[in-house]
Chains A and B, each alone.
Chain A
Amino acid sequence: MSKRFKYDHHNQEHVANQLQLDTPELPLDMITEILSWMPVNSLLRSKCVSKEWLSLIQDPCFVSIHMRRATATPLSLHDEADLILDDDRFRIIDSFSGLLLKQNIETHKYHLCNPATRQMLHLPDPNHGVLCMPDPNLGTFFTLSAYNSCTHECKLAFTYYSLNKEGVEQRVSEILSVGRDDRWRPLRHQPPREDGKVVMECFLRSEGEFHSVKTVQNGQDLELKVLSFDIWKETFVASTLPRGIFLDLSETFLFLWDSCLAVSEITEEALHVMVLEHCTGGFRWSRSKIVVPLRFLREETYPKEKLVPVRGTSSDLWFQFKEKIEFCYHVETGKIKGTKPLLPKKKKHPYEYRPSLVTLEGMIPEGNH
């Protein structure tokens, strides 16, 4: 079966039309394909074409296909050419599904807005704490936003430290189901306590998940501990990488592989990977190491010492080399597909922005607030 988005199948009829050399009338599934390449403002205009086009453009499946095809742009913080950030009354906290989570610097109020459709939504204030962009070198505090295009659900969650009655610092998380909750809810399920001295920590986020990863000194040994939060289930799951898998934990790399957390090392012309897979109870480590041969290591173009795996899909792996270029490695053929230079780190916002048609219930036109 092809994975293409098929709306309706009138192929037979239209194939018959094609036999004459008049311009054929395109079936709706082809119209859908065409529209999925269009920018948001053209689509808002195209809603006026006909009832069929209106319902097509508003269809949740179409919205998510269109979003996948839209070109992602990195949010650059002080780029004057960037219209999205033109307005310096706002601080951008997160970017997801074409939506930006922002805070007004003067009023301290939070908003969700869709810059492409020029719509926005006011959010209630959290009970305590402040939403911040997560610090890449700190895995403990998280901010996570997610939108489910099938159910239209949108959730926001974050953590902060507060003092309890005894004056002891404790970590608290709050969550908001946008449009369903009037106020932020404290997360009932709190992460388990952690022992050991943290040597290194960082985090990785994928759609609706936040993985806090810590390398912990336990006696003589290092251990890799992961605390995963699932925003849809509102639960934390702790897991420790089985011992002895990798020679040296401080030499491993983390990346997202098909939206799963992957721990990896490069040895002997291959990438060795352990994946934190999804399972019914939450997450579990893959049974054994996955070994991906890296054929290009035989040549000397990209020596492994300066090579970092950054993300992967079932067919491709992306690597960064010397923090200067990024290239894509096709696992099946063992060929390098495309290389591109990387933006200097200072200029890059950690998140990308991908224009979308996503509309949340209760959104109002921007400028009406």
Chain B
Amino acid sequence: MSSSSTTTTTTRLLMLKASDGVTFEVEEAVATKLGAINNMVEEEGSEDLICLPNVNGKFLGMVLEWCKKHANNNTNSDKGNDEVNKWWDKEFVMDLDQNTLYHLLMAADYLSGTELVDLLTEKVASMIRGKKVEEIRETFKIKSDFLPGQEEEIRKKNSWAFE
């Protein structure tokens, strides 16, 4: 997935190389939506190839797709960017399974994509907020470490929240 070459000649292109060797050619304005890349560009300046050994190509591609959409939305229209972005964000996370979601989240966090981390964590929250304690433990692979009786005591304090 490479970025389409757009009209302006001043746009600088960056090469991003994922852990599995897959490379992406991306406009600087798109890639710098990610805090980590923005820092690298500012610090190293001339470097056009950026290696990202901690992100797999599949997820880097998805992260960049999100960046591209947001960068385009913000330059193309004057009004209603928020609405367009919100609508598009909703589509973006709608059908993600848990595995993809977690991998994307780790990638977005590593690349300091603050807005994307917010979007993904909010999505995970919406998936677990109605769940029972046992189901949440299962989702996050957590084992209860309470002593016998301790959990019962916490439940009793807010028994209405468990109904």
Chain A residues with a Cβ under 8 A of chain B: 2, 4, 11, 14-16, 18-19, 21-26, 29-31, 33-39, 41-42, 44-54, 117-118, 335-339, 365
Instruction: Report the Cα distance A49→B162, complex, angstroms.
Output: 13
Contact between chains at B125 and A34 (CB < 8 Å) = yes
Closest 6 CB pairs of A and B: A37-B125, A33-B121, A44-B161, A15-B54, A338-B82, A42-B129
Can you give 26 A-B contacts (C-beta < 8 A)?
A19-B19, A21-B99, A24-B103, A30-B117, A31-B140, A33-B117, A33-B118, A34-B128, A37-B121, A37-B126, A38-B128, A38-B129, A42-B128, A42-B129, A42-B161, A44-B161, A45-B161, A46-B133, A47-B158, A48-B151, A50-B146, A52-B145, A117-B158, A337-B81, A337-B82, A339-B79
Instruction: Report the Cα distance A21→B83, complex, angstroms.
Output: 34
Contact between chains at B160 and A49 (CB < 8 Å) = no
Contact between chains at A2 and B56 (CB < 8 Å) = no
Instruction: Report the Cα distance A145→B14, complex, angstroms.
Output: 52
A51-B145, A337-B82 as given contacts; A21 in contact with B54, CB under 8 Å: no
Instruction: Report the Cα distance A38→B78, complex, angstroms.
Output: 32
Q: Could you tell me which residues of chain B, from 21 to 61, have a CB within 8 Å of some CB in chain A?
A: 35, 54-56
Instruction: Report the Cα distance A19→B118, complex, angstroms.
Output: 22
Instruction: Report the Cα distance A115→B130, complex, angstroms.
Output: 19
Chain B residues with a Cβ under 8 A of chain A: 19, 35, 54-56, 78-83, 98-99, 102-103, 105-107, 109-110, 112, 114, 117-118, 121-122, 124-126, 128-130, 132-133, 136-137, 140-146, 151, 154-155, 157-158, 160-162
Complex contacts, B155 vs chain A, CB 8 Å: 48
Closest-CB distance, A352 to chain B (whole angstroms): 20
Closest-CB distance, A199 to chain B (whole angstroms): 39
Complex contacts, A4 vs chain B, CB 8 Å: 114, 117
A37-B122, A41-B161 as given contacts; A30 in contact with B103, CB under 8 Å: no
Instruction: Report the Cα distance A86→B78, complex, angstroms.
Output: 42
Contact between chains at A118 and B160 (CB < 8 Å) = yes
Partner among A15, A37, A51 whose Cβ is within 8 Å of the Cβ of B106:
A15
Partner among B106, B112, B129, B145 whose Cβ is within 8 Å of the Cβ of A50:
B145
Complex contacts, A34 vs chain B, CB 8 Å: 121, 124-125, 128
Instruction: Report the Cα distance A8→B67, complex, angstroms.
Output: 27
Contact between chains at B124 and A18 (CB < 8 Å) = no
Complex contacts, B105 vs chain A, CB 8 Å: 26, 30
Contact between chains at B144 and A50 (CB < 8 Å) = yes
Partner among A11, A16, A37, A48 whose Cβ is within 8 Å of the Cβ of B154:
A48
Contact between chains at A42 and B142 (CB < 8 Å) = no
Instruction: Report the Cα distance A251→B86, complex, angstroms.
Output: 37
Closest-CB distance, B105 to chain A (whole angstroms): 6
Closest-CB distance, A260 to chain B (whole angstroms): 26
Residue from A11, A23, A48 with most neighbouring chain B CB atoms (10 Å): A48
Contact between chains at B133 and A48 (CB < 8 Å) = yes
Closest-CB distance, B81 to chain A (whole angstroms): 6
Contact between chains at A26 and B114 (CB < 8 Å) = no
Complex contacts, A29 vs chain B, CB 8 Å: 109
A31-B140, A33-B117 as given contacts; A47 in contact with B83, CB under 8 Å: no
Q: Given contact pairs A18-B56, A19-B54, enumerate 12 new A-B contacts (beta carbons under 8 Å).
A: A18-B106, A23-B102, A26-B140, A30-B109, A45-B158, A46-B133, A49-B136, A49-B144, A50-B137, A50-B145, A338-B83, A339-B79
Instruction: Report the Cα distance A51→B132, complex, angstroms.
Output: 17
Instruction: Report the Cα distance A44→B154, complex, angstroms.
Output: 9
Instruction: Report the Cα distance A354→B151, complex, angstroms.
Output: 28
Closest-CB distance, B38 to chain A (whole angstroms): 11
Instruction: Report the Cα distance A31→B109, complex, angstroms.
Output: 12
**What residue in chain B is nearest A301 (Cβ atoms)?**
B79
Residue from A18, A30, A35, A118 with most neighbouring chain B CB atoms (10 Å): A18
